[in-house]
Amino acid sequence: MIGDDQIDGETSLAKPAAPTIQHCFIGLGNNPRLVRDALSHFGFQELAKGMQFSDKYRFKWTQTSSEVNYMKFREGEHIVNHISNARIFTTKITTLEILEQLKIALENGEVPSALRLKDFFPETYRLDVAADLVNFLNSKTGGCWLQKKACSNQGKGIRLVGDVKAYKEEIMTINKQEEDSTQMLVEKLEKMGIENEGGAGASTTSSANKWKDMNMLAKELREIVVQKYCENPLLVDGRKFDIRAYMLIVCMKPYLVLYHPGYVRLSLNPYTSTSFTDKMTHLTNNSVQKNHPDYKSLKEKSIISIEALVKDLVERGLVQSADEYHSRVDNKIQEIMRLVFVTIKDKLDRKFGCFELYGFDFLIDENLNPFLIEANTNPALYTDTQVQKELLPPLVEDVVQMAVEAHGFGKVEGSEEVRRVAEKVAQRETRLRYEVIYYENA
């Protein structure tokens, strides 16, 4: 439709009028109440659940990007909480691929940083890459390892490997495919803790079906990575922990990327280096700890704040002050996030209106070196503990508010709006405190 606006004497296309009532759609799962409360606070009205495929929304929040129809996405009208191709760095396999690219860029000086990949990422191999497989089989036969499935999260699909020599023998046996036996492959995969999700079984009799089964089993193998376990983790109260930190891509045109230090997740069992069989001792994911028989009475001990962690380290004399912690740990975590982002920024599908919150997990060793474990889309927003109740609601409110403020209606980029958001962050005018790790217009 041709509008009546005149610019320099020429007729221009009229911009769509901003809606008087702004509608939002909120998907199921992952504590949608937090998002609902935030959007309601900012005046949004929620669309009915049956309208998940409607494009009559201003703001959409879902668990996965597959719930967003990007073919109908309109820049300047829609705001959604997922970047369409974020999986290029948020699965076990794609994280490893991106970090391999980063390793080369760091070594060649293409990305300036004092860090090298070995400084912050554990030794990791893909079983479906021949060179990686050979390197893993030839690596030192010692220590403990973690076997991970590519697309798993919440501690699912992880196997603790205490006897790496025996594990390598399993790998070699599977790759030999002795007698082309589906039965043998099924049994070996079961021993490795890898389920045959395709439903292939040993009862298949025809040669054609047998090869089909074997291909499905091989696909399962191709989703596996193995990672060296950190055997000198820093402990709190004698227990292993990791840090769930956040990276927020507020806007893509221009890029504005923020960091929040998050919170600390602890095992409820005392750490031991002599036994490597109990997941609750060695995996700190909250979803794993919820299986602890005493979780209900002990859950407040499974999550603590960053402030509590720093206080503990100061009291134990491991750091002299909060400033030393931030210098030695927090700043390095921010730098690792920045390095990951600069590696992916030109590969992401840049749409004005797309933003995303990511959960980055870091393990700290006894020398206060942070190691990146994984990067996750759709980080858990459950408020099971007091720390989460105090942190996550204001985090979600900030995320929603900054996303809305950065994306002006009817625009295709947000230079001025993003500048104002960046200023608010710098002036500490948000509910929580964030650090800018990348600003395209800085």
- Supply 125's token pair: 């191999």
Statement to judge: residues 66 and 163 lie in one domain: no
Please state, rounded to an integer, the average pLDDT across all residues of the chain: 87
Assess if residue 102 is contained within a domain: no
- Supply 149's token pair: 């499935």
pLDDT at 234 over 90: yes
Nearest to 53 by CA among 81, 19, 25: 25
pLDDT at 123 over 80: yes
Statement to judge: residues 130 and 148 lie in one domain: yes
For residue 34, give its domain range. 2-81
Kindly tell me the burial class for residue 176, based on how many C-beta atoms sit within 10 Å of its own C-beta (0-12, 13-18, 19 or more). exposed
Statement to judge: residues 156 and 77 lie in one domain: no
Cα separation, 120 vs 117, in Å, equals 6
Statement to judge: residues 193 and 255 lie in one domain: no
Cα separation, 117 vs 92, in Å, equals 16
Statement to judge: residues 221 and 346 lie in one domain: no
Cα separation, 123 vs 233, in Å, equals 15
pLDDT at 215 over 90: no
- The least confident of 101-110, 214-223, 234-243, 345-354 is 214-223
pTM: 0.86
Spatial contact of 290 and 173, defined as CB atoms under 8 Å apart: no
Assess if residue 367 is contained within a domain: yes
Cα separation, 119 vs 110, in Å, equals 17
In this prediction, residue 220 carries a pLDDT of 53
In this prediction, residue 409 carries a pLDDT of 96
pLDDT at 95 over 60: yes
Assess if residue 96 is contained within a domain: no
In this prediction, residue 277 carries a pLDDT of 79
Per-residue confidence band for 247, with pLDDT thresholds at 50, 70 and 90: very high
CB burial of 350-362 (b: ≥16 within 10 Å; e: otherwise) equals bbbbbbbbbbbbb
Spatial contact of 181 and 300, defined as CB atoms under 8 Å apart: no
Segment of 172-181, 279-288, 403-412 carrying the highest mean pLDDT = 403-412
In this prediction, residue 199 carries a pLDDT of 43
Cα separation, 97 vs 119, in Å, equals 17
In this prediction, residue 156 carries a pLDDT of 63
Nearest to 407 by CA among 355, 358, 372: 355
Q: Which amino acid is at 302?
A: S
Per-residue confidence band for 283, with pLDDT thresholds at 50, 70 and 90: confident
Assess if residue 113 is contained within a domain: no
What percent of the chain has a predicted confidence (pLDDT) above 70?
Answer: 83
Nearest to 268 by CA among 243, 286, 250: 286
Statement to judge: residues 380 and 284 lie in one domain: yes
In this prediction, residue 282 carries a pLDDT of 85
In this prediction, residue 6 carries a pLDDT of 38
- Which residues, at least 6 apart from 95, have a Cβ–Cβ distance to it below 8 Å? 89, 374, 375
Assess if residue 104 is contained within a domain: no
In this prediction, residue 9 carries a pLDDT of 40
Per-residue confidence band for 177, with pLDDT thresholds at 50, 70 and 90: very low
Number of Cβ within 10 Å of residue 349's Cβ equals 13
Cα separation, 274 vs 281, in Å, equals 11
Task: Identify the domain boundary among 188, 210, 228.
Answer: 228
Per-residue confidence band for 105, with pLDDT thresholds at 50, 70 and 90: very high
From residue 51, how far is each of 21, 62, 235 by CA, in Å? 16, 13, 48
Spatial contact of 150 and 225, defined as CB atoms under 8 Å apart: yes
Statement to judge: residues 287 and 422 lie in one domain: yes
Task: Identify the domain boundary among 81, 109, 136.
Answer: 81
Spatial contact of 228 and 154, defined as CB atoms under 8 Å apart: no
Half-sphere exposure of 351 (CA within 13 A, CB side): 24
- Supply 284's token pair: 């700190």
Higher pLDDT, 69 or 158: 69
Residues in the chain: 442
Domain count, the chain: 3
Cis previous bond, 261, omega within 30: no
Nearest to 305 by CA among 353, 236, 228, 204: 236
- The least confident of 110-119, 214-223, 377-386 is 214-223
Higher pLDDT, 349 or 136: 349
Spatial contact of 418 and 257, defined as CB atoms under 8 Å apart: no
Cα separation, 287 vs 297, in Å, equals 16
In this prediction, residue 203 carries a pLDDT of 43
Assess if residue 414 is contained within a domain: yes
Nearest to 73 by CA among 182, 214, 62: 62
Assess if residue 17 is contained within a domain: yes
- Supply 200's token pair: 């292939």
Q: Compute the average pLDDT of residues 316-343.
A: 98
Statement to judge: residues 381 and 430 lie in one domain: yes
pLDDT at 198 over 70: no
Per-residue confidence band for 133, with pLDDT thresholds at 50, 70 and 90: confident
Per-residue confidence band for 193, with pLDDT thresholds at 50, 70 and 90: low
Higher pLDDT, 227 or 130: 227
- The least confident of 183-187, 217-221, 336-340 is 217-221
Cα separation, 245 vs 437, in Å, equals 13
Assess if residue 106 is contained within a domain: no
Number of Cβ within 10 Å of residue 191's Cβ equals 13
Per-residue confidence band for 434, with pLDDT thresholds at 50, 70 and 90: very high
Q: Which amino acid is at 368?
A: L
Spatial contact of 256 and 436, defined as CB atoms under 8 Å apart: yes
Statement to judge: residues 49 and 74 lie in one domain: yes
Collect contacts of 322-330 with beta carbons under 8 A, ≥24 apart. 325/368, 328/368, 329/364, 329/368, 329/370, 330/261
